[in-house]
Structure 1
């Protein structure tokens, strides 16, 4: 990765210092600041140039890609490369070694990953930018199950877990459960293992992939298949697979995976989504401006309407902007 500083100013004031002067004005005021800044008299930020590399979560990938498209429309001389590597794969292989500016994650960074980063002179900065409803899905031909509890899910997905559907309920088919899910490098895998499967650990005899298309195709191929992925990908393929309702406890009501339920906290597999720009990368203007743009737009309605995630709250966006200014503004 070419590490080029691209320092720019507005009448002698760096854009990071300019951000500090309007920090109390919220995201709307900050957005106006972004659109009015220029370099050498150019309009719409055309003077900004350089490269930003984003790796990480396949769940967050559609958001980052949409942000990239909108950002580069305003700043065509900035190249933003967005790669879907899995949360853990991004931390381990790209971000912590210093080869990416931002890592997206569908779960918080782990202590070992933070240590790996620190050892390489990379300082992660955590920002929650959206929420998701992790979705468990089956074939549209599956007519025997509509809802599963965490206990039933754990019995299916744990090491040495259920081999047939009848192992979960004797009235269900005595046929092998064919399992598809994210790879072990995925934050979705990590979140599901920690929050649903538990100490027994996630079984390894399943088809693991970072390509959600493979999971959908697996569910279409067999009435006995099951798989899980982020809600955004389910929403794109709702006519091809059947989403299951979920309940955390056997006595709870079954909750359907929807953005409304995730936002309200009534869907038990709702989870936060993050980006982790590095403190060092934020000193470069292209990275700083892209993260600033990301935060400003994280509350936008199009997050839900176009990429099917719960947008960040205004409070969360303000906290993220304060963090950005604290890290890169001085």
Structure 2
């Protein structure tokens, strides 16, 4: 009996230390899925991950938010399976992936409107034009545009304090291109962070402050922030699911993406999560405050995933500034 007990015990130990893990390595009910990148996309990916954990509790899905640029760096080093992005991948980032032997599947998952906000204490800003935002944020403003009356004569002579995305953020790239005309064209004397919660905390307590970040972060903090409508040439427009969806909130509406390492997709846990993501992103994005794609667009996204179509449709760094959902569908379908 002692011999039998010892044999059974030894077999159990060997199974738990090696054999069992190897057998379950490609089982969709176990494993790890690593995600990082855009703080804007983070709420969607985290919501999908939370939902997914209820159906597959033994799959450990981790979601970080190091910014779009930071996520792509980790992605190109094979440190993560999925990279969240609030802009398309750049040629430099593609080159880094190519050198590492990484092929990727690009999937748009929702639309976002960049919210321009001030503190609830601010009573003088009722709207801003794109031209005023440019005057406020362009590189030439650093050291010269210091008080609000320099932006509009009716504004008080109070010091300007700005909060915005860090340089590793896709939000930074999009905002600077849409407002200042070129990616990275921004004054540098502002409080920068890839963590939008830091920006919310800073601007909400600053009477002279102004910030920009993804619409979902405003939706989650409406009690302490004042949303500013933006005049893109046709009068002031507030960002909302409706105005972002119909393209009237311009030029600060943009698509959001996930990029999946095609090698990672060979693992059943990653494939299961990716499938769940594309099937549920619309519902969860809407709950958070973002704008879901339409049914046909999600079918197209699911088809790209099923066929494992690699590469980007944004060739030569094609801009997404001013892009509407119909435009996205057209470019994704290759028509």
| TM category, shorter | 0.7 to 0.9
- Runs of 4+ aligned structure 1 residues displaced above 6 Å come to none
Give the aligned partner of residue 69 of structure 1: 50
Mapped partners of 1:282, 1:146: distance in 2: 48
Gaps of 5+ in 1: 9-46
Aligned to 2:41, which of 46, 53, 60?
Answer: 60
Aligned to 2:244, which of 262, 282, 307?
Answer: 262
Root-mean-square deviation (CA), in Å?
1.6
Give the aligned partner of residue 118 of structure 1: 98
Q: Which of structures 1 and 2 has the bigger CA Rg?
A: 2
Mapped partners of 2:304, 2:47: distance in 1: 23
Mapped partners of 2:102, 2:45: distance in 1: 21
**1:90, distance to aligned residue in structure 2 (A):** 0.7
**SS of residue matched to 2:124:** coil
Gaps of 5+ in 2: 1-21, 310-335
Give the aligned partner of residue 219 of structure 2: 235
Partner deviation per Cα, 1:261-295 (whole Å, 9 max, x = no partner): 11111111111110000111111111111010000
Give the aligned partner of residue 29 of structure 1: none
Mapped partners of 1:160, 1:294: distance in 2: 42
Mapped partners of 1:292, 1:101: distance in 2: 14
Aligned to 1:319, which of 271, 289, 300?
Answer: 300
Are 1:223 and 2:207 an aligned pair?
yes
Give the aligned partner of residue 12 of structure 1: none
**1:211, distance to aligned residue in structure 2 (A):** 2.2
Q: How many residues align structurally?
A: 282
Aligned to 2:130, which of 142, 150, 153?
Answer: 150
1:158-169 aligned at under 5 Å gives the runs 158-161=138-141, 162-169=145-152
Give the aligned partner of residue 138 of structure 1: 118
Give the aligned partner of residue 95 of structure 1: 75
Instruction: Answer whether contact 2:44 2:281 (CA < 8 A) is retained.
Output: no
Mapped partners of 2:296, 2:82: distance in 1: 22
Mapped partners of 2:264, 2:95: distance in 1: 18
Mapped partners of 1:187, 1:138: distance in 2: 21
Give the aligned partner of residue 157 of structure 2: 174
